[in-house]
Amino acid sequence: MSLIKDAQRGLVTEEMKLVAAQEGVTEEFVRKGVAGGHIVIPVSPYRKVKICGIGEGLRTKVNASIGTSSDISDVSVEIEKVRQAELAGADTLMELSTGGDLADIRRQVVAATSLSVGSVPLYQAFIEAAQKKGAVVDMEADDLFRITAEQAKAGTNFMAIHTGINYETMKRLENQGRHAGLVSRGGAFMTAWMLHNEKENPLYAEYDYLLEIMKEHEVTLSMGNGMRAGAVHDSTDRAAIQELLINAELADKAFNEGVQTIVEGPGHVPIDEIQANVILQKRVTNRKPFYMLGPLVTDIAPGYDDRVAMVGAALSSSYGADFICYVTPAEHLALPTPEEVYEGVISSRIAAHIGDMVKLNKRDDDLEMGHARKALDWDRQYAVALNPKRAKEIRDSRMPADTDACTMCGDYCAVKIVAKHFNF
């Protein structure tokens, strides 16, 4: 089964109907988007999920990445992160564990959520090689494809696959150099493996085989961004552009085979380069859904990187990015806690909404909030607030003694003063 092939035959599937209803667009709009590769709807034959459309003309979606590390590995904490991400309103999850029993952690995470779950199969392949054979460079290509199929059967809906790292991109990287090197774990594993074994990346060399696995298990392919910049001074460089071109061509090939495909984008980008990155990516990928990793727009605010990414995500979604990966305050410092996961999702949802106000002209809630503020109608304000609980907690903790205004201006509430003299 392929949603792309169904859509191209003119069939409107249940998934397309659901997306149309959620987004307030016509079923035909969604069908055409899927048929043209501009919209994806991650599904799995092995697990029912909350349907979520990603792509052109739809609300910008937010992904929360969770998972253990080699230092901190407690599956109960990861399950709590799932809960916090869902409470905060994440649209999808990526399970990126690199510590503990990886297959078992993924099984428990998938069982704990109804959201679409993404994975990076090469993490497990490289880490198992390190555990069983002594080094990540001892990974066998067959193990990588076997694990990819196993993760698909475990109910994974989309997978980040690092196809764009090959001898060509590595040559660009070597010729040009980098201020901050490579920061993608998948990119680092794969380049180390290629250099040690003097072999081409199997995901690139055996791409047809990979597509067979994606097709058989209906996995949505997310073309990984292994060459993404890890510092603003490395943004939009030759290695990243080379990888984008390779990924764009391979994404077309996947689409022609009926495999739904997303293309991932850069990580650290100063704000004056974001629009160019979005236009370039959309143009060369034939408007495939664009999964933006951040972007982080400055490198000097560790501890606040969720806010740094908000600026980048708001701009990138306003220019056309469709899907943004959240960033938590712990980015670059530590594995996030469940509380930091919650904060990261809320920050990204705010950014996605700001972007959608421009991209989709979605401003009705803002209008409603303006009216509710003028009327000092606090319940209406909470109802439309992106995080009503937090808004109410703050007001309730500092209520005025005898006024329906708030303690910001108290007796001198501008709203009340103006209401006495004007009748808007």
Positions in the binding site for ligand SF4 (CB under 6 A): 405-406, 408-409, 413-415
Nearer to ligand SF4, 140 or 411 (CB): 411
CB of 385 to ligand SF4, least distance (A): 14
CB of 311 to ligand SF4, least distance (A): 25
Task: Please list, in sequence order, all residues whose beta carbon lies within 8 angstroms of the beta carbon of residue 422, skipping any fewer than 6 positions away.
Answer: none
Nearer to ligand SF4, 302 or 370 (CB): 370
CB of 379 to ligand SF4, least distance (A): 14
| H/E stretch holding 62 | strand 61-66
Strand partners, 62: 324
Nearer to ligand SF4, 87 or 384 (CB): 384
Nearer to ligand SF4, 156 or 381 (CB): 381
CB of 307 to ligand SF4, least distance (A): 23
Q: Hunting for tokens 């370039």 — which residue is that?
A: 280
Nearer to ligand SF4, 76 or 397 (CB): 397
Angstrom CA distances, 230 to 165, 183, 278, 308, stand at: 16, 5, 18, 14
Nearer to ligand SF4, 215 or 395 (CB): 395
Angstrom CA distances, 302 to 232, 306, 347, stand at: 14, 9, 15
CB of 327 to ligand SF4, least distance (A): 30
| H/E stretch holding 149 | helix 141-153
Among 259, 241, 242, 243, residue whose Cα is nearest residue 251: 259
CB of 388 to ligand SF4, least distance (A): 17
